[in-house]
Amino acid sequence: MDMLSLIIIILIPISLLFLLLPFLRLLILLSTACTTSKRRRNKSSAAAAAAPLPPGSMGYPYVGETFQLYSDNPINFFADRQNKYGPIFKTHILGCPCIMVSSPEAAKFVLVTKAALFKPTFPASKERMLGPQAIFFQQGDYHARLRRLLLRAFMPEATRGKVAGIEHLAVSALSSWDGHTINTYQQMKIYAFNVALLSIFGKDEMSSCIIEELKQCYYTLEKGYNSMPINLPGTLFHKSMKARQQLGQIVADILSSRRRKGNVEASDLLASFMDSKEALTDAQIADNIIGVIFAARDTTASVLTWILKYLAENPNLLKAVTEEQMEIIKCKEGAEDKALTWADTKRMPFTCRVIQETMRVASILSFTFREAVEDVEYQGYLIPKGWKVLPLFRNIHHCADNFSDPEKFDPSRFELPPKPNTFMPFGSGTHACPGNELAKLEMLVLLHHLTTKYRWSLSGSETGIQFGPFALPRDGLPIRLSRKANAN
């Protein structure tokens, strides 16, 4: 046998082994989850005798109903099972036994009333990528401390000083899109990323080349968010984990630079995290900064993408938004400074209702994950310890009992406050998004300049929704944008 044949004989089985590794790991993970689930169910047998599990199907062995969820529109998956089993039902997805709830009362029970019994949870791969000490994965005193620091940087008192910086970013972004066909979602992600960095690091570091390096590392990291957690050279997960290490080092360098300069301003998030009274470690700061970027970028970009779609499809609503924004410009005629102010953003009630209705109809955050920390009984049903619990925000937002004609895009429905616990675009309870004021501000600023100075048209012929993982118009909503002839 020649040397070449011998090498081929040796390499073929090795290559096959590497090809099969992702599937073997998936089977092991699913088998482990199933075994763990059985043990937990056995331990809960006494409680189960008193209260049954909710109705529903656990699907096939090991894989549950994961294939049904991802082979169809997830919206249909949740709606079909709610129609069949009611507002609380069981299933098994992604290797986890789950209880799904779709009533306002059940969502409040899980997220607010008995929040201590349901800890926030994410897939282990997400935790490794973002950082185990990020606020998403915490409960108790440490979570409360992190939330206080985030609110300090994102509450109106701190956010109002960022209007000028956000306006500069919005004007620059729109100018770069002028005359081009753009992927709306991708461009909105860039805009939201820049706003997030401004809020985290302030103005001083924004011009630094280290911020560009941070961006490139983050772009590499996000490519692996939904990849199989196989940390082998060449895989997306491996590349993402290397980028995560680099991000940690970049944040450490920024921290060192700010300490040397003594530049600890109280208006940005980094300064809030660096407060000596709080005594956060550099690793804790890095985990939470990367987590904030993750939370601030995709969700805000998704909402803005849907807003442009809904306004393009509803000319009367676009006209009403434009007229409201033009009134703000007219009030500044003759003034030396025509820049937007915090007070101006409080004179946009109709635009705010458009944002609210977009968040309801699109429901970017379709659900959230919680995990029962002990056996819990709800409305005569058992929620076993260790099971995932998913409040289904989209189902609540699209229920005719909560919103009349729920599929219709109608901002006027928010002229009156919605019923309690029926509108939760930012979640609810102690784990609700602390950056909602900043998100609303960056949307209002962009919409002000977009509607008063530009026009746009939808370029794609296809309609529909894609998931990646948030609900988006198909192909990221391609649009053609151009500046109005009479725009100043």
- Binding-site members for heme are 433
Half-sphere exposure of 384 (CA within 13 A, CB side): 25
Q: Whose CA is closest to 321, among 220, 418, 448, 159?
A: 448
Q: How far apart are CA 144 and CA 122, in angstroms?
A: 19
> To 5 degrees, how large is the angle CA 39–CA 71–CA 400?
90
Residue 54 CA to its chain's centroid (Å): 29
Peptide bond into 104 cis (omega under 30): no
> To 5 degrees, how large is the angle CA 449–CA 196–CA 144?
130
Collapsed DSSP state (helix, strand, coil) of residue 102: coil
Pick out the residues of the known binding site: 433
Q: How far apart are CA 92 and CA 63, in angstroms?
A: 7
Q: Would you say 440 and 449 are in contact if contact means Cβ atoms under 8 Å apart?
A: no
Q: Whose CA is closest to 162, among 296, 60, 353, 21?
A: 296
Q: Return phi, psi of residue 388, to 5°.
A: -80, 145
Contacts of 122 (CB under 8 A, 6+ apart): 130, 136, 137, 369
Half-sphere exposure of 369 (CA within 13 A, CB side): 17
Instruction: Copy the structure tokens of residue 194.
Output: 């820049």
